[in-house]
């Protein structure tokens, strides 16, 4: 998708009206990683490395797992295995952090009571002895769901292009409200908000998550365990790190997310919950994809009338309250006037074009992952076999429980016949 000598540029030379959005999922992933990178510089703790060290420390030894289980029982904590964080799948960090926090008391007691001379153990011991570590983990546990929920929404198979612009704005607004003054976070264009330091909240007003706030207050008031309490200096380090995460993530999103994409802005007419379709929005797609729609001047005049008629029709019928957007526009295509002519055929034609536009690359990424998994595990696999396996796996990405599938006698007969042909073919090649 680059701008220099990329596949996109070469394809656009052949088809100037081609539309590509890129992948907001990747942008959200990179924004979280950018925020964490800035946070890490301030707090002096690499939480990614901590999660990786923790996983491999217990993975290599059943004895260590048993000892941790005993410490968890002593601390009245339910034992569960430590989860692995994969750095290339950055948002897996959230699951690893959640599991670590559930085991935190047991882990802290384990590393405080155990002895080992390895550098890995020493790093873990220092980290779990520092009261700031738990605060940093709690903060990330509170912030990362914003990014994962955004990603999960865009991984839907259903069309999302028509609400994507609103979704992008709401996502950024949620993040900004955690550290920017309320007066700056108002209106409908969060990508234009100023996040300069003078417009940010004071430390005590930052929203760092409820559990994080409670833990911070407890540590600040802990007079019985002075070694585990927080000094003003450490408290400031925590707040600086939290602010750096929020600010860097928000700035990255403001710069990278396609807020000004006119396709996203104008596709909102398809959103039936709005109950309106301005002709300007519809007209944009007629011009943007003129080679695909091919509407004549008379058809455009008819389209204008259909847009106006659509306003009153939706307002009167309230059809959108009980059906999804695809079903609504499919049913609308069948609506006829008193003469038996289709009442909204041209408007529906434009709407159908909008609904097939891609809203992310998550589907393609899933296919690439399947290819990588199968090809890596079987390096000698021929391309025709890989293609067949890929077809089977792609066609079974739904919720079907294939282990419950019982093939018919005809299917078994055909499979046996094909197997015989395959074996004979390969036997002749060996000879």
Q: Is 352 exposed, middle or buried (0-12, 13-18, 19+ CB in 10 A)?
A: middle
**Contact assessment for residue 1 and residue 8, using Cβ atoms and an 8 Å cutoff:** yes
pLDDT value of position 223? 46
289-306: per-residue pLDDT in tens? 988 888 999 999 999 999
d(CA 247, CA 168): 17
Hey, is 85 helix, strand or coil?
coil
pLDDT value of position 396? 62
Q: Determine the Cα angle at 262 with ends 257 and 265, to 5°.
A: 80
d(CA 197, CA 180): 9
| Domain map (residue ranges) of the chain | 24-256, 263-355, 362-430
d(CA 334, CA 301): 20
d(CA 276, CA 313): 10
Hey, is 342 helix, strand or coil?
strand
Q: What is the pLDDT along the chain (431 residues), one digit of tens a residue?
A: 556 677 777 777 787 777 777 788 889 989 999 999 999 999 999 999 999 999 999 998 999 999 999 999 999 999 999 999 887 676 788 999 999 999 999 999 999 999 999 999 999 999 999 999 999 999 999 999 999 999 888 888 888 899 999 999 999 999 999 999 887 777 668 888 888 888 899 999 999 999 999 999 988 876 444 555 678 899 999 999 999 999 999 999 999 999 999 999 999 999 877 766 789 999 999 999 988 888 999 999 999 999 888 887 776 555 555 678 888 889 889 988 888 889 999 999 999 999 998 887 766 666 776 777 666 655 667 777 777 777 777 666 555 566 677 788 888 888 888 888 878 877 765 55
77-124: per-residue pLDDT in tens? 999 999 998 876 767 889 999 999 999 999 999 999 999 999 999 999
98's enclosing H/E stretch is helix 93-102
Please choose, from the candidates 311, 265, 255, the residue with its C-alpha nearest in 3D space to the C-alpha of residue 288. Answer: 265
70's enclosing H/E stretch is helix 62-74
pTM (2 decimals)? Answer: 0.82
pLDDT value of position 183? 77
pLDDT value of position 291? 84
């Amino acid at each position: 998708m680059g701008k220099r000598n990329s596949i996109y540029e070469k394809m656009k030379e052949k088809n100037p009206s081609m539309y590509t959005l890129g992948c907001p999922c990747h942008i959200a992933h990179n924004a979280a990683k950018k925020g964490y990178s800035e946070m890490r510089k301030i707090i002096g703790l690499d939480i990614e490395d901590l999660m990786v060290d923790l996983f491999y420390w217990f993975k290599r030894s059943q004895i260590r797992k048993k000892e941790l289980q005993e410490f968890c029982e002593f601390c009245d904590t339910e034992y569960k295995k430590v989860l692995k964080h994969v750095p290339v799948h950055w948002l897996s960090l959230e699951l690893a952090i959640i599991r670590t926090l559930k085991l935190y008391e047991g882990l802290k007691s384990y590393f405080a009571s155990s002895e080992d001379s390895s550098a890995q153990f020493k790093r873990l011991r220092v980290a779990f002895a520092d009261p700031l570590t738990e605060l940093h983990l709690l903060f990330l546990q509170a912030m990362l769901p914003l990014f994962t929920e955004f990603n999960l929404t865009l991984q839907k198979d259903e069309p999302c292009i028509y609400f994507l612009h609103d979704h992008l704005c709401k996502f950024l607004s949620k993040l900004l409200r955690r550290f920017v003054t309320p007066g700056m976070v108002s209106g409908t264009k969060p990508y234009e908000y100023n996040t300069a330091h003078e417009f940010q909240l004071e430390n005590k007003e930052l929203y760092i998550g409820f559990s994080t706030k409670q833990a911070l207050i407890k540590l600040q008031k802990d007079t019985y365990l002075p070694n585990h309490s927080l000094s003003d200096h450490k408290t400031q380090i925590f707040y600086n790190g939290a602010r750096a995460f929020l600010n860097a993530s928000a700035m990255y999103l403001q710069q990278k997310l396609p807020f000004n994409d006119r396709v996203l802005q104008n596709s909102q007419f398809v959103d039936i919950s709005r109950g309106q379709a301005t002709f300007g929005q519809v007209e944009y797609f007629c011009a943007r994809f003129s080679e695909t729609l091919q509407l004549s001047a008379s058809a455009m005049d008819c389209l204008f009338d259909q847009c106006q008629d659509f306003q009153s029709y939706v307002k009167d019928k309230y059809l959108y309250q009980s059906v999804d957007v695809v079903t609504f526009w499919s049913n609308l295509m069948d609506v006829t006037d008193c003469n038996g002519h289709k009442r909204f055929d041209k408007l529906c034609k434009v709407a159908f074009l909008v609904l097939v536009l891609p809203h992310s690359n998550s589907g393609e990424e899933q296919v690439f992952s399947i290819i990588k998994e199968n090809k890596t595990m079987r390096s000698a696999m021929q391309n025709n076999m890989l293609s067949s396996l890929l077809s089977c796996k792609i066609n079974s990405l739904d919720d079907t429980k294939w282990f419950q599938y019982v093939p018919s006698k005809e299917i078994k007969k055909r499979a046996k016949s094909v197997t015989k042909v395959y074996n004979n073919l390969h036997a002749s090649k060996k000879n």
